[in-house]
Structure 1
């Protein structure tokens, strides 16, 4: 982003411009090839854009040690996870950006780009899928969330914390992912999945209205996965027609399965056919459901995928078993 004549900052800098502003990059001995793929705000990216990006990354993988994607931060938690689901190779795909644009004192973009390049070039980052590097922290795409509108430390992983950190320009992974969740199918962008947060006093009007126009639905329920009693009949009817995934709007912890037994509790909803998101937050759950539907998966496959991705079942129950490298 850079200044515009109309006020405020807009996408204006090329990939070459961004690299030219990174101090110390020339001292790393890392060769960087640049490509302008899109130049739009992060909020205007589409599923089709990310599918095309994943394809472009796949075309380049044989010639590089890693990939860095620089984008606006609004949708990083979604684009990084979608890339993670579509990226089968061992090379890291590292997503980064900036919270403070270049017109502000203390702009963090150059430091984040340098850290992302150092992480992508390191052999320690292989077999970890897509990563988000920000504020010298290395996060798994499947866990990371944007938690603050303006803080440079906005990206956090509530469930598990960061995988590691950049220390003196070197990535240090304190823990590593033990499995990959890759969907080995071509997908299209013509699937609609809605995400509905449940709030105090909700009735079934909005849920029923939205369900008529989507291919899948994610419910961000209260606490451990709860909804008002009045929503239960509608959700049971809807999940007989389209997949409905139950997540928690809290952003941390897993949807429970056996603790509460009242009408609208997690136990009640799961018994009526809703699918648990497990540890996946609602935004990640929407991306996974959308990708599975776009890959033409049936309901048992969708349920198995959520069980593995959300941590409710063993990782080996992922419908397309992979090794740590993502290889089928």
Structure 2
């Protein structure tokens, strides 16, 4: 049997971390060190591993991820795996998916427990991710996230717990597959066609996220006007609602930059046609905000930042977000 070739890019994260007593863990293991910990790897794929750098997931940058996306685009492999810290996997997988236009999937994985921890989950996650990346049914699915024997679409997956191995969930629709009995099993066929929304050399612009809170004021919203941001995502309440005291600042913002309406509530899309009071989603959309659809606030920020970095017009940004409604 001819095994698929899978290229693995190790960027760091908990999966690479070890440490001494009382000092805390930090990134230490290279890609080769990680592969040596995975029994049965040679039976599922021919693995080519690269370690561009080792750092915590919280410190990754758009520039670094764009470089990884460009490396992936140039690699003639059946599948690609990105190994990184779980702090930002839901964001980075979404960003990589926006830049990826090949049939070969990009599978992002990591670990919730350090490499030296009892029952470390890294080796099992690596095996599942590499096997999934090389599987024919994973082709044309864009970016996926594989942890804890679950396969998630990057668009929907979110980190929902700080420490448990089942931290990642797709609360809008569930996992798209599972790693069971030593192989990936998908629940639905892959789409026939998909295309990247942006070039892998896009340089995202600065976008702020401002969260609405009970009895809050508009000071942070107004401050974004003077801090050099090119766009704003408002993390609204409920189905997409803002306190009335935010509205004057919002109107001032809308005269200068695009503003996207997301919600702090994880499940469900932002509404567009239900509530009609001042600060409701109907009122906000009439004022000019762009509904984020099914996107979480942090993913809406990535999409807006990429659209601005690609030089999209206001109408093009609206059309891009409409894809996620």
Q: TM-score, normalised by structure 2?
A: 0.91
Deviations 1:159-187 (A, max 9, x none): 11111101112111102454646224354
Q: Unaligned stretches of 5+ in structure 2?
A: 1-16
Report what 1:43 is aligned to: 58
Aligned to 1:231: 246
Q: Quick one: which of 177, 198, 201 aligns to 2:212?
A: 198
Alignment correspondent of 2:39: 23
The match for 1:122 among 135, 138, 149 is 135
Q: Which runs of 5+ in 1 are unaligned?
A: 312-328
Q: Distance in 2 between matches of 1:110 and 1:190?
A: 33
Instruction: Give aligned pairs, total.
Output: 307
Query: Residue 267 of structure 1: which of 259, 282, 288 is its match?
Result: 282
- Select between 249-258 and 167-176 the one with higher mean Cα deviation: 167-176
CA displacement at 1:189 relative to structure 2:
3.4
Could you say if the C-alpha distance between residues 180 and 276 of structure 1 is closer, same or farther in structure 2, counting changes exceeding 3 Å?
Answer: farther
Deviates more, 1:158-167 or 1:107-116: 158-167
Any idea what the Cα deviations from partners look like across 1:200-229, whole Å, max 9, x if unmatched?
A: 111111111023320111111000000100
In the other structure, the counterpart of 1:321 is: none
Say if 1:227 and 1:144 are closer, same or farther in 2 by CA, change over 3 A. same
Contact 2:157–2:168 under 8 Å retained in 1 = yes
User: What is aligned with 2:6?
Assistant: none
- Matches of 2:164 and 2:253 in 1, distance apart? 39
Q: Tell me how far 1:257 sits from its aligned partner.
A: 0.7
Q: CA–CA distance in 1 between the matches of 2:252 and 2:35?
A: 53
Q: Which moved more, 1:252-261 or 1:183-192?
A: 183-192
Q: Provide closer, same or farther for how the CA distance between residues 72 and 79 of structure 1 changes in structure 2, counting only shifts above 3 A.
A: same
TM-score (normalizing by structure 1): 0.91
Contact 1:15 1:36 (C-alpha < 8 Å) held by counterparts: yes
**Kept in 2: contact 1:211–1:217 (CA 8 A):** no
RMSD: 1.4
Q: Does structure 2 retain, via aligned residues, the 8 Å contact 1:188–1:294? A: yes
Contact 2:203 2:310 (C-alpha < 8 Å) held by counterparts: no
Contact 1:16-1:34 at 8 Å conserved across structures: yes
Paired with 1:96 and 1:190, the residues of 2 have a C-alpha distance of 23
Distance in 2 separating the partners of 1:94 and 1:273: 36
Structure 1 residue 110: deviation in Å?
0.1
1:132-147 equivalences under 5 Å are 132-147=145-160
Corresponding position of 1:8: 24
Q: Distance in 1 between matches of 2:204 and 2:126?
A: 32
- What corresponds to 1:34 in structure 2? 49
Pairing of 1:295-306 with structure 2 (within 5 A): 295-306=310-321
Matching residue of 1:148: 161
Deviation at 1:259, TM superposition (A): 0.5
Out of 56, 66, 83, the position equivalent to 2:96 is: 83
Preserved CA contact (<8 Å) 1:186 1:295 = no
The CA deviation string for residues 84-112 of structure 1, in whole angstroms up to 9 with x for no partner, is: 00000010000000001122111000000
Report deviation, 1:237.
Answer: 1.8
Contact preservation (8 Å) 2:57, 2:84: yes
Q: 1:190 deviation in Å?
A: 5.8
